[in-house]
């Protein structure tokens, strides 16, 4: 981000600590290079893990004619591959590393500008920048640089030049297409800049820059412009359903995180007293966004960037209060940040070693093919898929359930992703229907499915409509106990749904389920609305009284949006799609609501013989 200027300065003392702009620029380059130490490309070779699989998926989809929107939707956008490259594509590695380098330099310049009245502004800014950037992705670091710059601009009552507004709007367009939620904050920050400047002119410049940059970036990433509206709608579906499906529920963790968030909010409010109204609103708004992130998923990968962002806001505000407060409070703030980083178990410096024995340095062309082959070989061994299962998939477009895309890459299969390519991200009925429709659109498609459970969610209920489509229209052609290959059948095995029972149930009331006889048994549940206080806390990221279902003593978390299913609870025979589970005998929910039990006639080997 451009460094704001609040007035003329002595030519001999430009920038923080009396350093010239040239030296400040050189310092920014050094900080950017130091940040790269231990992050030599590639950042991560593909391996067996839920997160590494979506990173790989974002890389692989670039090489296919797939447009983001109805054909492919995730919390990351068409430029999301820049956030966490998997290592398989040298172009994305270089692009991501370059973006990170620039983002770290901009963050350093923004912080150094904030602290320029401090005698040791440059080293202090370097320390803060490296701490803040350590656990963040390139887009996140860029967003923090933008936040620090906009905050400084508003606090100093500087009117940003038109070209700076244009740059900020262009950056926000990129952030939007890297990760939906980060783009929302980017757009909000541009709005703050418009209010801080010549409002009409700044608004026109911002709108024009965003409207021009967004389609250029979108098409450059390989997506179709006509899919933008659908991508926005589906992106909102992902954001809207995330909290209900993914938020932590552990009250002990949430209490600690909430307490820290309240302390940070109080400190921010105190340090913002007396500052311009727009600056205070911007600081508290940014803090709310970052705190919401920490509360939504309080693990190391989400907590550390959130707390680093809070540190950035506090540094800017403390600097605005004057040098004595910065000097006095800096040690406390950094100590708190370091303690938080250690609490979440994240190393303060990149753990990879910079030696030529490290495979992460094997991005050089002479070594790359060998290392890619080794990564594939390691994955094949780790996945342990029976050769018969793999052979049943060759020559067909293949989707992988529930998330291990690395299996398709390791065995060099023709990966053809469903729109929501990892099932735990199917948060709403619309996303579920998209996957079910895509599954049936190509009769040549085959499915590789692993027996896996995501935390405390029932794998059969992750995507109810899709699971029913898979059971009705596909059959197992090879399996090894953990992995199953499915092929399309000539016709559907399922008949029309028939209602068996509908009734109101109380919270915790146990309902007997019918025994499956020639039909699938499923339930649809419409829970009563949560209390207003629970819904209000949910907006803040605090999960309370979320929906759970208990089947034969096993408790499953159930996203409320998917509760109307149909949630399969039993089949007349052992069905691979249901992982051979025994039919459920009873079910209960921890919230009151309307329960409907249905049967779906199913053709089995026994019914075929009867005919």
Extents of the domains making up the chain? 74-344, 365-488, 498-601
Helices and strands in the chain: count of H runs, count of E runs: 20, 13
- 498's enclosing H/E stretch is strand 498-505
Q: How far apart are CA 298 and CA 199, in angstroms?
A: 38
Q: Do the Cβ atoms of 445 and 452 come closer than 8 Å? A: no
| DSSP 3-state of 575 | coil
Please give the pLDDT value at position 395. 92
Q: Biggest alpha carbon distance in the chain?
A: 96
Q: Do the Cβ atoms of 413 and 393 come closer than 8 Å? A: yes
**Could you say which residues of the chain have pLDDT below 50?**
3-19, 40-42, 323, 325-328, 331-332, 335, 339, 341-362, 609, 611
Please give the pLDDT value at position 133. 81
Give the rounded distance of the alpha carbon of 380 from its chain centre.
27
Q: How far apart are CA 334 and CA 341, in angstroms?
A: 10
Please give the pLDDT value at position 79. 93
For residue 179, what are the contacts with CB-CB under 8 A and spacing of at least 6? 75, 76, 77, 80, 83, 139
Nearest to 299, CA basis, from 266, 335, 256: 256
Please give the pLDDT value at position 321. 67
Sign of the dihedral defined by the CA atoms of residues 475, 480, 484, 486, in that order: negative
| Measured torsion, CA atoms of residues 257, 259, 262, 268, in degrees rounded to the nearest 10 | -80
Prior bond of 42 cis (ω within 30°): yes
Please give the pLDDT value at position 429. 92
CB count within 10 Å of CB 63 equals 11
Nearest to 566, CA basis, from 486, 475, 467, 496: 467
What is the side-by-side order of every strand in the sheet holding 511-512? 511-512, 586-589, 548-551, 554-557
Give tens-digit pLDDT for 491-546.
Answer: 888 999 999 999 999 999 999 999 988 899 999 999 998 888 777 766 666 667 78
Which DSSP state fits 562?
A: G
Please give the pLDDT value at position 366. 62
Q: Give whole-number Cα distances, 355 to 41, 97, 389, 424, in Å.
A: 12, 18, 39, 38
Of the candidate CATH numbers 3.40.30, 1.20.1420, 2.60.120, 3.40.1620, the domain formed by 498-601 belongs to 2.60.120
Plot region of 603 (φ>0 → left; ψ -120 to 50 → alpha; else → beta):
beta
Q: How far apart are CA 92 and CA 83, in angstroms?
A: 10
């Amino acid at each position: 981000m451009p460094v704001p200027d609040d007035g003329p300065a002595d030519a001999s003392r430009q920038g923080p600590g009396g350093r010239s702009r040239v030296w400040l620029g050189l310092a920014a380059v050094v900080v950017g290079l130091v940040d790269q130490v231990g992050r030599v490309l590639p950042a991560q070779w593909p391996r067996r893990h839920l997160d590494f699989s979506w990173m790989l998926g974002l890389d692989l989809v670039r090489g296919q004619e797939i447009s983001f929107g109805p054909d492919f939707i995730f919390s990351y956008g068409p430029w999301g591959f820049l956030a966490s490259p998997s290592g398989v594509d040298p172009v994305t590695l270089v692009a991501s590393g370059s973006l990170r380098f620039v983002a770290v330099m901009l963050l350093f310049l923004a912080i150094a500008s904030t602290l320029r009245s401090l005698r040791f502004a440059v080293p202090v800014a370097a320390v803060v920048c490296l701490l803040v950037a350590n656990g963040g992705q390139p887009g996140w670091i860029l967003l923090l640089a933008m936040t620090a710059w906009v905050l400084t601009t508003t606090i100093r009552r500087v009117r940003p030049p038109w070209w700076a507004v244009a740059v900020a709007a262009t950056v926000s367009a990129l952030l939007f297409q890297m990760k939906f939620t980060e783009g929302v904050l980017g757009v909000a920050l541009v709005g703050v800049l418009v209010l801080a400047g010549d409002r009409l002119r700044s608004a026109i410049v911002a709108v024009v820059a965003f409207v021009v940059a967004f389609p250029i970036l979108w098409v450059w990433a390989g997506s179709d412009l006509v899919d933008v509206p659908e991508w926005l709608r589906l992106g909102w579906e992902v954001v809207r359903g995330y909290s209900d499906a993914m938020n932590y529920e552990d009250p002990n963790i949430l209490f600690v995180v909430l307490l820290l968030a309240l302390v940070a909010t109080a400190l921010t409010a105190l340090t913002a007293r007396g500052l311009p109204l727009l600056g205070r609103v911007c600081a508290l708004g940014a803090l709310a966004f970052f705190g919401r992130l920490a509360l939504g998923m309080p693990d190391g990968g989400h907590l550390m960037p959130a707390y680093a962002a809070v540190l950035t806001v506090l540094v800017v505000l403390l600097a605005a209060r004057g040098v004595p407060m910065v000097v006095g409070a800096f040690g406390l703030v950094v100590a708190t940040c370091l303690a938080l980083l250690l609490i979440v178990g994240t190393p303060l410096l990149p753990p990879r070693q910079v030696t030529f024995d490290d495979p992460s340095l094997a991005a050089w062309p002479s070594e790359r093919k060998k290392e890619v082959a080794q990564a594939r070989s390691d994955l094949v061994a780790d996945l342990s898929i029976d050769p018969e299962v793999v052979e049943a998939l060759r020559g067909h477009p293949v989707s992988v359930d529930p998330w291990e895309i690395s299996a398709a890459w390791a065995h060099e299969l023709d990966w053809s992703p469903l729109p929501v390519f990892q099932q735990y991200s199917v948060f709403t009925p619309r996303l579920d229907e998209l996957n079910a429709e895509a599954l049936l659109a190509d009769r040549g498609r085959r499915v590789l499915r692993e027996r896996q459970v995501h935390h405390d969610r029932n794998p059969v209920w992750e995507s109810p409509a899709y699971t029913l489509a898979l059971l009705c229209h596909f059959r197992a052609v090879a399996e090894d106990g953990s992995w199953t290959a499915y092929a399309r059948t000539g016709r559907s095995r399922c008949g029309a749904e028939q209602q068996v029972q509908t009734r109101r149930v109380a919270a915790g009331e146990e309902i007997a389920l019918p025994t499956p006889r020639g039909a699938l048994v499923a339930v649809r549940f419409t829970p009563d609305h949560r209390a207003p206080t629970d819904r209000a806390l949910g907006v803040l990221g605090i999960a309370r009284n979320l929906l759970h279902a208990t089947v034969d003593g096993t408790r499953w978390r159930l996203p409320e949006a998917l509760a109307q299913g149909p949630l399969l609870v039993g089949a007349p025979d052992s069905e691979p799609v249901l992982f051979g589970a025994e039919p459920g005998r009873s079910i209960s929910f921890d919230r009151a609501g309307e329960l409907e039990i249905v049967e779906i006639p199913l053709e089995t080997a026994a019914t075929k013989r009867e005919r």
